């Protein structure tokens, strides 16, 4: 099983904190661990991001244990199309990193800390300068910020040690000018590093998936073939649906009475309490506010009612 190829501390943390690997993780890890370009296509919430990151964390963890320290070098670049997503990933990285470090200490090991940093257009100048003086091991950034980094001499020097680049939400930019621009930036990043970079792409399910893989690896082709030199882990699937239409017992009129609205709000409250996640879509902010006041505060996002587990 692919989880067995991780360091025991990393594997035990994952098993304890996350349970069984998801399909993108189960099928993606062997390809990434074998240093292949890898494209993972799967729905949101299927564990794609950790599928990409955990191997990089494992490599840094092992190196730190073997040498007693990690050099001040950036080895992993994670690219997100949105600044907000970049910040989320930066925050979410702390969970595995802190969990693995804590478990290692409990077992008498002293791994050096794995440093992360985020670089977007909102990053203060002081933090950018600090990165140049002491580069993070994992850099989280956006396509535009990465472009600026590969074109400036000091930050380009920081990128010469990169070994792995992860492109998240690749489907969101594939057919746009941003996608073309990022493709060029990836080639410039590889030129700055003067080595073949392992490229890992994370995508929602796309067709044809081979086109997404071709975009990810650029001109890297299999010998004697036009096929991209990329392992494709396509675990797209449709979720089981339990679809129902509900209407209030009272007649629906052009102008709804207060009693009808109370009935609707009461039913929404029941649905929210019966499910872990509830999405409520309404056509005015006024109605959204009213429904929030009358139901329990566990809405995951704005939006009538798509109910999920």
pLDDT at 281 over 90: no
pLDDT at 276 over 50: yes
User: pLDDT value at position 284?
Assistant: 65
User: pLDDT value at position 219?
Assistant: 77
Tens of pLDDT, residue by residue over 185-243, are 999 999 999 899 999 999 887 778 888 999 999 877 776 677 888 999 988 665 667 88
3-class DSSP assignment, residue 55? helix
83-92 and 94-106 are packed helices; what angle lies between their axes, rounded to 10 degrees? 10
Tokens of 290: 């009213």
| Nearest of 206, 215, 233 to residue 47 by alpha carbon | 233
pTM of the model: 0.76
Least confident residue range of 39-48, 63-72, 123-132: 39-48
Element (H, E) at 7: none
Cα→Cα distances 215→95, 96, 184, 287, 298, Å:
31, 30, 11, 44, 39
Q: Are 38 and 92 in contact (CB under 8 A)?
A: no
pLDDT higher at 188 or 244: 188
Beta bridge partners of 39: 201, 232
Distance CA 62, CA 111 (A): 8
Q: What single DSSP character describes residue 203?
A: E
Pair type for strands 38-41 and 231-234: parallel
User: pLDDT value at position 84?
Assistant: 72
3-class DSSP assignment, residue 38? strand
Backbone angles phi, psi at 297, to 5 degrees: -80, 65
């Amino acid at each position: 099983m692919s989880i067995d190829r991780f360091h025991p501390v990393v594997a035990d943390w994952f098993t304890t904190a996350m349970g069984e690997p998801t399909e993108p993780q189960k099928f993606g890890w062997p390809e990434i661990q074998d240093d292949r370009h890898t494209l993972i296509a799967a729905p949101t919430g299927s564990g794609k991001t950790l599928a990409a990151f955990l191997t990089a964390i494992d490599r840094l963890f092992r190196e730190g244990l073997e040498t007693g320290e990690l050099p001040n070098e950036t080895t992993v670049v994670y690219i997100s199309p949105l600044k907000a997503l970049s910040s989320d990933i930066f925050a979410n990285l702390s969970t595995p990193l802190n969990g693995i470090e804590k478990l290692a200490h409990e077992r008498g090991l002293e791994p050096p800390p794995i440093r992360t940093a985020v670089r977007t257009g909102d990053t203060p100048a002081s933090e950018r300068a600090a990165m140049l003086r002491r580069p993070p091991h994992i850099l989280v950034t956006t396509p535009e910020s990465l472009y600026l980094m590969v074109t400036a001499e000091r930050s380009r020097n920081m990128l010469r040690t990169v070994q792995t680049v992860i492109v998240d939400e690749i489907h969101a930019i594939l057919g746009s000018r941003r996608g073309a621009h990022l493709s060029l930036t990836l080639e410039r990043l590889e030129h700055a590093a003067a080595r073949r970079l392992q490229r890992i792409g994370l995508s929602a399910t796309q067709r044809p998936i081979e086109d997404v893989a071709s975009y990810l690896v650029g001109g890297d082709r299999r010998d004697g073939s036009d096929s991209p030199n990329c392992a494709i882990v396509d675990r797209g699937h449709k979720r089981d649906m339990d679809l129902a239409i509900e209407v209030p017992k009272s007649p629906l009129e052009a102008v709804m009475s207060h009693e009808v609205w109370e009935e609707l709000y009461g039913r929404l409250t029941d649905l929210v309490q019966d499910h872990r996640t509830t999405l409520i879509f309404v056509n005015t902010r006024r109605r959204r506010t009213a429904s929030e006041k009358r139901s329990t505060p566990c809405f995951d996002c704005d939006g009538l009612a798509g109910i999920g587990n």
